[in-house]
Amino acid sequence: MTTSDTPKVRDYAIPPDAALALEEYRTVREEELAALQGQLTTLRYGVAGCVVLIGFAAQHHGDRYLGWAVSLALVPLVVLFSAIIWMGEYERGARAGHYIAGLEGRINSMLANGAQRPLRWEGWLREGGNVPSRLVGGHHRYLAIASVFIGFQIAAVTMGLPFYLHTHAHDPSRHWLVPAALVINLTILLTLLGYFRSCYERLRDYTTEPEERQPTVRQRVRMRLRLYSIFLAVGFISAPFYSWPLGIAIVSGLNSIELVGHVPSYWIALPTVVWMAIIPLVSSRGLMRELLSSRILREKTIERSSVEGLEELGLLGQLTNWEKERLRVVDSEEMNAPSIGRRKNITLTRAALEDKDNLPGILAHEVGHHRLHHLHPLGLSYLYLWPYFYYDERVCRRPSMPGRGGIHIIMRSAKRVLFTIAALPGWLAWVVLRLGWRTAEYDADRFACVSGNGEPLARALRQHEQRRQERRPKTWRDRLSKGGERLGQGRGLGYLPVPNEHPIPKRRLKHVEEWLWVRAARDGLQTKGHSPPPVEVLSEDGVS
State pLDDT tens for residues 454-479. Answer: 888 888 888 888 887 887 777 777 77
Phi, psi of 12 (to 5 degrees): -135, 150
d(CA 56, CA 268): 38
- CA distance readout (Å), 229 to 226, 234, 319, 377, 446: 5, 9, 29, 9, 21
Q: What is the pLDDT of residues 100-145, one digit of tens each?
A: 877 887 777 777 664 556 777 776 666 654 444 445 456 677 888 8
Task: Compute the average pLDDT of residues 351-378.
Answer: 83
pTM: 0.63
Residue 12 forms beta bridges with which residues?
Answer: 9
CB 172 within 8 A of CB 255: no
Q: What is the pLDDT of residues 244-289, one digit of tens each?
A: 889 889 888 888 876 666 777 878 888 999 999 888 888 766 666 6
Q: Is beta strand 347-349 parallel, antiparallel or unpaired with respect to 328-330? A: parallel
pLDDT of 126 reads 64
Query: Of all helices (H) and strands (E), which one includes residue 12?
Result: strand 12-13
Task: Compute the average pLDDT of residues 191-197.
Answer: 83
On average, the pLDDT of the chain sits at: 76
Q: What is the pLDDT of residues 447-460, one digit of tens each?
A: 888 878 888 888 88
Query: Of all helices (H) and strands (E), which one includes residue 515?
Result: helix 505-522
Task: Compute the average pLDDT of residues 75-95.
Answer: 90
> 348 in helix, strand or coil?
strand
Task: Identify which has the larger pLDDT, 83 or 316.
Answer: 83
CB 440 within 8 A of CB 345: no
Burial class (CB in 10 A: 0-12, 13-18, 19+), 412: middle
Quick check: 338 pLDDT over 90?
no
Query: Of all helices (H) and strands (E), which one includes residue 301?
Result: strand 300-301
d(CA 145, CA 151): 10
List helix spans (H) across 60-129.
66-69, 75-110, 121-126
Q: Is beta strand 328-330 parallel, antiparallel or unpaired with respect to 300-301? A: antiparallel
Candidates 437, 438, 430; CA nearest to 490 is 430
In the chain, how many H helices and how many E strands?
Answer: 22, 5
Task: Identify which has the larger pLDDT, 216 or 119.
Answer: 119
> Rounded to 10 degrees, what is the CA torsion of 386, 391, 397, 401?
150
Band of residue 234 on the pLDDT scale cut at 50, 70, 90: very high
Quick check: 531 pLDDT over 50?
no
Q: What is the pLDDT of residues 236-252, one digit of tens each?
A: 999 998 898 898 898 88
Band of residue 542 on the pLDDT scale cut at 50, 70, 90: very low
Residues near 274 by Cβ (< 8 Å), separated by ≥ 6? none
> 208 in helix, strand or coil?
coil
Task: Compute the average pLDDT of residues 7-16.
Answer: 57
Lowest-pLDDT choice from 65-69, 257-261, 414-418, 511-515: 257-261
d(CA 341, CA 414): 34
d(CA 7, CA 312): 59
Task: Compute the average pLDDT of residues 157-170.
Answer: 86
Measured between its terminal Cα atoms, the distance across the chain in Å is: 45
Query: How many other C-beta atoms are found inside a 10 Å radius of the C-beta of residue 191?
Result: 16
Quick check: 497 pLDDT over 50?
no
Task: Identify which has the larger pLDDT, 323 or 450.
Answer: 450
Taking the domains of the chain in order of start, what are their residue ranges?
8-213, 290-522
pLDDT of 435 reads 83
Question: Considering the chain, what percentage of its residues have pLDDT values greater than 70?
Answer: 74
Task: Compute the average pLDDT of residues 310-326.
Answer: 73
Quick one: CA dihedral 222, 427, 492, 505, positive or negative? negative
d(CA 173, CA 91): 42
